[in-house]
């Protein structure tokens, strides 16, 4: 992403922001609330349109007008606030809009098998027949991840994914993210939690008040220095 600018009435959410993500890395996007992280990723996912700037995937410039285009380009997003139908099953939610069919009939058996295979491959244990309203928040998050994988996402954006999880669930999610990377996926992790960045990320890009501050190798920087980049002053 090069020179991305996005304004809302009275607010410059992104001000000529650059973001370079390498294939098969875990790239953290760090900033305080209101820094412009989610706006930038919403542009990458096609939920917003940038006022100016360009997006390139594998060196080719693309125009992402909506989330369907993003999906076709192999981009998926796990939203902070899940977009699931509560009275549908896990399987029905995952295949929604891309249901396998036999003629005009929904092939739920095939769908269930495909979901079970994805769950096993990526270590995302969840009951394919359970209704969303009956499973835990962490399991609902796994359903969101499976939705992106079912759509063959190669770039997966996680928007503040640990905000709703317990410490044990956070550890499990970190293992899942590492597994996704090992399977060839590229991960963008939106967060303001420094310990999680140090635990899982390869590189980190910092935004502050809508502006690009810098990109660093996580192994080469301390939590304190990351915090200083994030807030613009020494943190004690």
pLDDT tens digits, one per residue of 80-120: 889 999 999 999 999 988 777 777 777 788 889 999 999 99
**DSSP at 36:** S
Give per-residue pLDDT as tens, 163-217: 989 999 999 999 999 999 999 999 999 998 999 999 999 999 999 999 999 999 9
Q: What is the mean pLDDT of the chain?
A: 94
Query: Is the Cβ–Cβ distance between 93 and 85 less than 8 Å?
Result: yes
Domain edges within the chain: 1-74+154-236, 84-150
If one looks up domain 1-74+154-236 in CATH, what number appears? 3.40.50.300
Q: Which two tokens stand for residue 27?
A: 């790239």
The Cα 174–Cα 99 span in angstroms is 30
H runs (alpha helix) in the chain: 37-44, 67-72, 90-95, 108-122, 137-150, 167-182, 194-200, 223-231
Q: How far apart are CA 165 and CA 193, in angstroms?
A: 13
**Sequence-separated (6 or more) residues with CB below 8 Å from residue 16:** 3, 4, 5, 53, 211, 212
Question: What is the rounded average pLDDT of the residues 112-138?
Answer: 94
- What single-letter DSSP state applies at residue 220? G
């Amino acid at each position: 992403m090069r020179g991305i600018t996005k304004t809302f009435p009275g607010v410059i959410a992104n001000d000529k922001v650059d973001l370079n993500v390498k294939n098969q890395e875990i790239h953290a996007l760090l900033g305080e609330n209101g820094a412009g992280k989610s706006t930038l990723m919403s542009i990458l996912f096609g939920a917003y349109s940038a006022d100016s700037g360009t997006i390139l995937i594998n060196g080719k410039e693309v125009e992402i007008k909506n989330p369907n285009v993003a999906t076709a380009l192999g981009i998926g997003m796990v939203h902070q606030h899940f977009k699931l139908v509560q009275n549908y099953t896990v399987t029905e939610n995952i295949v929604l809009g891309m249901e396998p069919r036999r003629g005009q009939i929904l092939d739920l058996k095939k769908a269930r098998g495909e979901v079970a295979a994805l769950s096993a491959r990526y270590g995302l244990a969840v009951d394919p027949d359970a209704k969303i309203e009956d499973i835990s928040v962490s399991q609902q998050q796994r359903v969101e991840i499976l939705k992106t994988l079912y759509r063959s996402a190669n770039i997966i954006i996680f928007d503040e994914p640990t905000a709703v999880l317990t410490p044990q669930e956070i550890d499990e999610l970190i293992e899942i993210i590492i597994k996704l990377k090992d399977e060839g996926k590229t991960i963008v992790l939106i967060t303001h939690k420094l310990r999680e960045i140090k635990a899982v990320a390869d590189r980190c890009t910092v935004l502050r008040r809508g502006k690009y501050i810098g990109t660093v190798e996580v192994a080469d920087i301390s939590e304190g220095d990351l915090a200083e980049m994030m807030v613009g002053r020494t943190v004690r």
